[in-house]
Structure 1
């Protein structure tokens, strides 16, 4: 019996000889869909962003499914290596000190949020400590003075915390979610209790109530 010829590549979108579709690369566009999929749980804003990317709801779900498979695979690569494989080499790397801990901040641009950067804080031996969106170096931050300024996608976690001190961090409902509790004036100057919810570091929604009232 002579040598077996390799299977020719299947046409795009069609399965190969054994019924498996060739795996397409997981790209920056797919990663943006993963971020939008999580944000869509709290905020309808990603609907317009999804259309900018030419993606359907099914595309969001499929991108998130593939990402979760990579994260949970028994043969998964380290988190930092996974980000590099999808996003490429970072735009910047800088040492960062948080409390008594030294780490390094890696940042990547994402086309959907030109004024933001996706930041990964990495510790010794490439361990990933945090992953979120932050304001891009040199980009003008939002003016946050009142509750009305806190529109979805208007600010990041650290921007809201700086604008309304002392902000109290709240435990998120998932690893990609954060919360802040603080007081802020409304447009009439009346102080309000605010709970702000963030996904991947970007504001998604706020709950507002008068101090001392449920």
Structure 2
């Protein structure tokens, strides 16, 4: 692996979107993000700069549509497909994600170009985790869909920010234990933490 770039190095064009994902995840697990930055060869300063540039793009008076913004940063999607969300027919755009080869960043685009959802999902057909207890739900191990399927019926809850989701569900703490209420928190669709509810 190449040595990490200096904090003063300019970010390449387009900047690595993985740094934007990691910046939000650092609120929950700064130690995991530090390890990821070392593996990818970036500094904390570069992560902050990438997030700053992303926020400027989102809030610019001349900002482009959300789908076009993702294409400008991520390039052409690796795959596209049609997806039904209730009665809404969306186009699912997916890009590979450095750091997580079995995940893809998915953007659901509604007719007319509005972005309906944007999060990390498992590669279609890839074997995902099969959690059976709350202890199996470790940080960065599962997506929203995977937790919802493993502990159905899970109940979606309002997130604390636009890139965050929460699920309420019941699961045993250990094999053979009695199910008890928990809340799982996700950032960009990836599990961050699970909290038991008294």
TM-score normalised by length of structure 1: 0.84
Alignment deviations for residues 90-125 of structure 1 (CA, whole Å, 9 cap, x no partner): 111111111111111111111211000000000112
Alignment deviations for residues 150-170 of structure 1 (CA, whole Å, 9 cap, x no partner): 000110001000000111111
| 1:78 correspondence with 2:75 | no
Structure number, greater radius of gyration:
1
| 1:52 correspondence with 2:34 | no
| 1:112 correspondence with 2:99 | yes
| 1:145 correspondence with 2:139 | no
Q: Which runs of 5+ in 2 are unaligned?
A: 1-9
Alignment deviations for residues 153-194 of structure 1 (CA, whole Å, 9 cap, x no partner): 110001000000111111011100000010001214232211
Q: Following the alignment from structure 1 to structure 2, what is the Cα–Cα distance between the partners of residues 38 and 95?
A: 28
User: Kindly tell me: are residues 23 and 61 of structure 1, through their superposed partners in 2, closer, same or farther at Cα, counting changes over 3 Å?
Assistant: closer
User: Kindly tell me: are residues 23 and 169 of structure 1, through their superposed partners in 2, closer, same or farther at Cα, counting changes over 3 Å?
Assistant: closer
Match in the other structure for 2:3: none
| 1:200 correspondence with 2:191 | no
Q: Following the alignment from structure 1 to structure 2, what is the Cα–Cα distance between the partners of residues 43 and 193?
A: 23
Deviation >3 Å, runs of 4+: none
Q: Following the alignment from structure 1 to structure 2, what is the Cα–Cα distance between the partners of residues 195 and 47?
A: 25
Match in the other structure for 1:180: 167
Q: Following the alignment from structure 1 to structure 2, what is the Cα–Cα distance between the partners of residues 88 and 133?
A: 17
* Secondary structure of 1:129 counterpart: strand
- 1:1-214 matched pairs, under 5 angstroms: 25-27=13-15, 29=16, 31-44=17-30, 45-188=32-175, 189-209=177-197, 214=198
8 Å Cα contact 2:11/2:46 also seen in 1? no
Alignment: residue pair count: 188
Q: Following the alignment from structure 1 to structure 2, what is the Cα–Cα distance between the partners of residues 43 and 192?
A: 25
Superposed CA RMSD: 1.6
Shift of 1:23: 8.6
Q: Following the alignment from structure 2 to structure 1, what is the Cα–Cα distance between the partners of residues 22 and 153?
A: 29
Q: Which runs of 5+ in 1 are unaligned?
A: 1-21
Shift of 1:138: 2.2
TM-score normalised by length of structure 2: 0.90
Q: Following the alignment from structure 1 to structure 2, what is the Cα–Cα distance between the partners of residues 90 and 48?
A: 27
